Amino acid sequence: MADMAPSITPYHYVSNNPLSFIDPFGLWEIRFDQNGNWIENYDDGSEDIFGAVYEYDEDGNMGDKTMDLVFNHTQSADPYADDGTTILDDFTGGYLTGVDLNFESSFNMFMSKSGANEDKGFFGKYLYALTESDGGNLDFTTYGELSQRKLHMAGGVAYNFHDASNFLWGMAMGKLGFSNFPMWAGSNLNAFWDGQEQYNGISKFSWTGDATEDQRAINRGCRWSKNPFWRTWRK
């Protein structure tokens, strides 16, 4: 067998580098290259999902790991996927193509276009949030800069298209001076009244309120806008 597959060694499961790539917990790893392109899903039998960025040379040989990342939501981002699928299926099936590693560099542009950097006054900010959050300047799903075919990374966390827009909405709310409770109340009220089934865009009345993953993205965005310490917050 050794002469038939000389590249497979006892260290092959850690890419012949057991010091750098040990995996004591047994995890799925979605691998990307230094440009954010998806390379492979590395399977060692676990259902837990994490991601990593590696350097690859021109011949496709993997080098050093440069970045770890976690996913805000591991459910499928493909609106045409069957229930129960995950982002692993999205990459393997071709719906997702990679991760936008430059998402953070666009934040100032997003906030400038949203108008969230401007002083609205105490009452004005509530009116602005009410009128602009659905289809207006604070509805980041309408921004052409957000790709539906890529995840968007900020602070080591990767967001799908919908969660990236929630992250930006939370950031805008923080810029406008909102605390967590008005954001929580507003997003849940919108979900109750005009909730959408995750990823398929079907509007319907919902008794469950906003999804946990949506709230997580919103809170991360708000914290990001207010305190640099929270820019690596992943919980």
Closest CA to 220 of 158, 145, 132, 151: 158
**pLDDT for 37:** 97
User: What local confidence, expressed as pLDDT, does residue 93 receive?
Assistant: 92
Distance of alpha carbon 53 from alpha carbon 78, whole angstroms = 22
Task: Look up residue 179 and give its two tokens.
Answer: 């605390």
Q: Is 38 exposed, middle or buried (0-12, 13-18, 19+ CB in 10 A)?
A: buried
Which of 28, 36, 42 is CA-nearest to residue 56? 36
Place of tokens 């590693």: 101
Length of the chain equals 235
Q: Would you state the pLDDT for residue 57? A: 93
Ranges of the chain with pLDDT below 70: 1-27, 46, 180-210, 227-235
Q: Over the stretch 36-84, which tens digit does the pLDDT of each residue have?
A: 999 999 987 767 899 999 999 999 899 999 999 999 999 889 888 877 8
SS3 87: helix
Domain boundaries, the chain: 12-98, 102-152+160-232
Close Cβ partners of 23 (under 8 Å, ≥ 6 residues apart): 13, 14, 29, 44
Q: Which two tokens stand for residue 175?
A: 């810029």
pLDDT for the residue numbered 11? 46
